[in-house]
Amino acid sequence: MKSVKGEKERLIDDYGREIRSLRFSITNRCNLNCIYCHREGEGRRELGEEISAELVIEIARVASGYFNIRKIKFSGGEPLLRDDLVDIVQGMRDFEDDISATTNGVFLKKYAAELADAGMDRVNVSLDSLKEERYDFITSSSNNLPKVIEGIYSAIDAGLTPVKLNMVLLKGINDDEIVGMMDFVRECNKRGEVAILQLIELIPCFNHKPLQGPGAEPHTMLNYEADFYGVEAELKSKASAIKTRRLQHRRKYFVDGVEVEVVHPIDNTEFCANCSRLRITSDGKIKPCLLRNDHLVPIESVDERHIINKLKLAMRYREPFYGR
Ligand code: SAM
């Protein structure tokens, strides 16, 4: 790792990748059970002790104060299951530029206004289908889709925008719904320029559970990898403008007034070469790569020097998963 002395030290790994954001998994618990979910690379492990609110805030404080990292995302499991999430957000609002969460949206109606008041800036909401039977199948749950839709509108009304709608493309399950999802984004945007569609490539990972439910065959998730290159080519052909984000070189396509961002990590060396986030697991370990669990760095105290040293140690383990 190379630390550049300036006004503040910066966290830059051996591949020249500077950390600009922290992604905290604050719980491994979830109220849904999506068939493909990697739970931020933790899988469905035994539920142990969750990282404390105090430690989350202290890590964020050190990252911001010492390394100038001022962008935080909460994930999980389902982050809205943490009943201290509002307090956590409040505890860091003064030293962060951008606080967001990725949520399944089921509890958003209840919490959106409170989270916005506490200092949250925006949310991503997972929405893989607008068809109830498919949604239930994908999430292994029932009666939740209407709650999620309501939650999305509550988030928009609370100003947690832009709301990004995260859609993991699953071949033969929801890959015919991109146009429908874009229509839904257009519907949301009647309330302002408030929604973005984010298409996510399925990571066929170690933790998937075999498909169950109506019509399911005993496949592995590998059978559900959609043709992402084809999807991107189609977006490209229809786009009036294309932009590239600094984070993981993600492309954004502007199609018929809808912004569509594409998250395409598999075998994509550009994706890893431009990775600028560090993850913290739900039990308080720094996770240098989503796709690896063999170099986790536990943070065992809220002491500032300890946290600084652990962040620096984790940087030594960072290497691109694709393109090494
Ligand atoms: N419960 C929250 C939610 O539903 O957004 C946060 C946790 S979830 C792990 C965070 C994001 O990871 C979601 O947008 C989800 O779609 C995505 N995700 C989970 N497993 C994935 C996989 N195998 N491949 C690609 N994306 C995945």
Residues 6+ apart with CB under 8 A from 84: 53
| Residues 245-284: tens digit of each pLDDT | 877 788 999 999 999 999 987 777 888 888 999 999 999 9
| Pocket lining for ligand 1, CB < 6 angstroms | 30, 36-40, 75-76, 78, 102-104, 126, 166, 168, 200, 202-203, 205
The two tokens of residue 44 are 């469905």
What rounded mean pLDDT belongs to the chain? 90
DSSP structure string for 84-142: THHHHHHHHGGG-SEEEEEE-STTHHHHHHHHHHHT--EEEEE---SSHHHHHHHHT-S
Residue-range domain boundaries for the chain: 21-317
- Angstrom distance (rounded) from CA 188 to CA 180: 13
In ligand 1, which atom is closest to the CA atom of 198?
14
Could you give the CA distance from residue 159 to residue 206 in angstroms, rounded to a whole number? 36
**Rg, C-alpha atoms of the chain:** 19
* Tens digit of each residue's pLDDT (9 = 90 or more) over 289-299: 988 888 999 99
The residues with which 260 forms a beta bridge, in sequence order, are 197, 253
Mean pLDDT across 175-183: 97
pLDDT at 215: 38
Q: Which of 23, 25, 30, 38 to mutate to test the pocket of ligand 1 (most atoms within 8 A of CB)?
A: 38
Asked whether residue 1 carries a pLDDT value surpassing 50, the answer given is no
Instruction: Evaluate whether the domain defined by 21-317 bears CATH number 1.10.3480.10.
Output: no
The contacts of residue 322 (CB under 8 Å, 6+ apart) are 265, 266, 267, 268, 269, 271, 272
* Count helices and strands in the chain by DSSP H and E runs: 9, 14
Residue nearest to atom 27 of ligand 1 (CA): 37
Inter-axis angle of helices 145-158 and 108-118, nearest 10: 20
Between residues 148 and 220, which one has the greater pLDDT?
Answer: 148
